[in-house]
Structure 1
């Protein structure tokens, strides 16, 4: 294969987010960031690289183009350029703007939207919020991402490039990083395939360095990581100190992903906490000595924790993280704390409950068995369906006719209108006829009386 690296062409967000940078983001601000800074702006940067310009001018041929469906559609231009089938993969929960192109049902009465923290059983108020969030997500994605991405993509691929919404409509296959065992059970189409855990491999024994770190004379190890974006060193000092004080009281060693030199020297860090700037997360989580995962609730880490059968203490910060931890709570293998209101007491209580109540370990093992009980593993499933699309020339028979319907046809607004109009017309006709007859009867009655 031919590997092309465009590393350095866009800003890196890894280990570059502070809590303050996202805590005040509204829903609209979040969509603007997704569609702009990590969407259309990325297209603008990468399409200016010599590597992609050379690729566009090359004579290479491809059967299929696999690209991400998250913040922009501009990369679908490659499928049009190479006259190849397009396959998209979403690394998160399905998105509000990802369903219409396939005709995939996204009924907000029981399917929580990516940006809410509801379960599938919602109150009336939650269904109202969920519906508005779904509609707003579709509209703002068009405004903040697709509009600018269209201009950028046409500038790069040429004016003959079809509208990106047309290319999205012609997408062949969608691979989604979800699974019904840890997400909501929802209707899917044949060309919409769940592949949660695509990044999860068989765990390997940790190397000598981490093996020594995991060795402990305590009851076990707590693994603490807030993911690859957020810097826990930048959290408010009172929150960090509350965590340190609570962790000092549990008979466990704590392995924390952070740079200890960046913590304030005013903090009292207990002796049972060990810091590393990078760790093989999945291998560590699957180690029998690890008993609990403290996390921000990111999708990848949550899936790894479930795969390894470890309970989660989640402190979500952004996007789908609250939804992920809420699901862990509702399934009985996790607890959620609001990072902004963490105290020594509530953090210690959550730790004790997860570590000493056996139901959490039992529940996560049950969910782990469901998560891994599949005909094929996620990687082989993805390979099979991509090759299926190639073998069957795009597999148009997988497409749903629902995507060809206008919104009023899809939701039967026209049928309902007719169903309501006909009885109304008949009722009106009956009313008019009755009025005429009654008028005549009254007139005759008056004549006889006179």
Structure 2
């Protein structure tokens, strides 16, 4: 009986074993953080220890979820949207100009934005906090938001290359196919079989980031594209119910709606306002990064 008790106790110990997880996201965006934090909170609530390097914070995180704040990331948004900096994404009159922007200019704008997000990392005390962890500190897993680039993947080398999972709230971006493999659009809808837009775009994307990353992590840092391709699984915020069906590799997993919670009752004031609509009401959301003060008056 004593041996049976020891055996059962040992099984319990295995069942409750937790992982030490590093979660990283240099992207500032409340809506993207809602998506990412849903996974971080779920892992912490299941007993795993999660260290979240992030530009955003949760007000009441679970006890096993520990934030390292990239406190300077939002300054990019403030400086660029108010015109106090020679900017990339926000170096336009206002958000509504995106509608009139050419596809090529759109690519160049966001390419520069990704570089700015990367170059601002070194300004945050939080970044140096995680970078100054002991070299022998062990993470069992790294989850990285790959939406805007690979700049935090230098931490892979820092922590001796733990298994890497990618995550993005930005639907299923074209870069997923470049990193994981597979064909983003499929042969039936690709514009031309010989065109290779992605390869050219990646060359431009990494041109400046490689130098920037090596200045931060050291000259022996592997090529950024090789670090990205260590990603074993990609979790993407897409679902065939609202987007066109894609032929995806088995390690690209659609988790669209992962962050959705049961809706709460409306505030009494809002409920009264909506109930007065004779023909009903329509809720229009422009996302968490839109600022009404940057829109043209004629479109307000």
TM-score if structure 2 supplies the norm length? 0.64
Distance 1:15 1:211 in 2: 36
Q: Partner residue of 2:109?
A: 33
Q: Partner residue of 1:57?
A: 132
Q: Partner residue of 1:199?
A: 259
Structure 1 residue ranges, 4+ long, deviating more than 6 angstroms after superposition: none
* Residues 1:56 and 1:93: Cα distance change in structure 2 (over 3 Å): same
Q: Partner residue of 2:182?
A: 104
User: Mind listing any 5+ residue stretches in structure 1 that lack a counterpart?
Assistant: 113-126, 241-450
User: Contact between 1:35 and 1:72, CA under 8 Å: does it hold in 2?
Assistant: no
Distance 1:20 1:131 in 2: 34
**Aligned to 2:270, which of 201, 204, 210?**
210
Q: What displacement does 1:56 show?
A: 0.9
Residues 414-435 of structure 1: CA deviation (Å, up to 9, x unaligned): xxxxxxxxxxxxxxxxxxxxxx
Residues 85-119 of structure 1: CA deviation (Å, up to 9, x unaligned): 2111122232333213222223454457xxxxxxx
| CA RMSD, 1 decimal | 2.9
* Residues 1:148 and 1:219: Cα distance change in structure 2 (over 3 Å): same
Q: What displacement does 1:209 show?
A: 3.2
**Aligned to 2:72, which of 1, 4, 8?**
8
* Residues 1:237 and 1:167: Cα distance change in structure 2 (over 3 Å): closer
Distance 1:72 1:63 in 2: 22
Q: What displacement does 1:167 show?
A: 0.9
User: Contact between 2:76 and 2:116, CA under 8 Å: does it hold in 1?
Assistant: no
* Residues 1:188 and 1:147: Cα distance change in structure 2 (over 3 Å): same
* Residues 1:26 and 1:108: Cα distance change in structure 2 (over 3 Å): farther
Distance 2:194 2:266 in 1: 46
Residues 351-408 of structure 1: CA deviation (Å, up to 9, x unaligned): xxxxxxxxxxxxxxxxxxxxxxxxxxxxxxxxxxxxxxxxxxxxxxxxxxxxxxxxxx
- After the TM superposition, which residues 293-332 of structure 1 pair with which residues of structure 2 at under 5 Å, given as runs? none
User: Contact between 1:68 and 1:90, CA under 8 Å: does it hold in 2?
Assistant: yes
Q: Partner residue of 2:145?
A: 68
* Residues 1:11 and 1:45: Cα distance change in structure 2 (over 3 Å): same
* Residues 1:110 and 1:67: Cα distance change in structure 2 (over 3 Å): same
User: Contact between 1:77 and 1:161, CA under 8 Å: does it hold in 2?
Assistant: yes
2:211 corresponds to 1:151: yes
**Aligned to 1:42, which of 117, 122, 127?**
117
User: Contact between 2:72 and 2:121, CA under 8 Å: does it hold in 1?
Assistant: no
Q: Partner residue of 1:142?
A: 203
Distance 1:61 1:190 in 2: 28
- After the TM superposition, which residues 339-350 of structure 1 pair with which residues of structure 2 at under 5 Å, given as runs? none
Q: Partner residue of 2:166?
A: 88
**Larger-Rg structure:** 1
* Residues 1:7 and 1:180: Cα distance change in structure 2 (over 3 Å): same
* Residues 1:88 and 1:218: Cα distance change in structure 2 (over 3 Å): same
Residues 146-197 of structure 1: CA deviation (Å, up to 9, x unaligned): 1211111111111221111111121111011111122222222221100111
User: Contact between 1:178 and 1:195, CA under 8 Å: does it hold in 2?
Assistant: yes
Q: What displacement does 1:52 show?
A: 1.1
* Residues 1:131 and 1:212: Cα distance change in structure 2 (over 3 Å): farther
User: Contact between 2:169 and 2:237, CA under 8 Å: does it hold in 1?
Assistant: yes
Distance 2:183 2:274 in 1: 46
- Matched pairs, number: 221
Distance 2:147 2:194 in 1: 20
- After the TM superposition, which residues 17-416 of structure 1 pair with which residues of structure 2 at under 5 Å, given as runs? 18-19=94-95, 21-37=97-113, 39-59=114-134, 60-83=137-160, 84-110=162-188, 127-128=191-192, 132=195, 135-143=196-204, 145-216=205-276, 218-231=278-291, 235-238=295-298
User: Contact between 1:28 and 1:140, CA under 8 Å: does it hold in 2?
Assistant: no
Secondary structure of the residue aligned to 2:284 is strand
Residues 207-235 of structure 1: CA deviation (Å, up to 9, x unaligned): 33322333326232222333333345655
TM-score if structure 1 supplies the norm length? 0.44
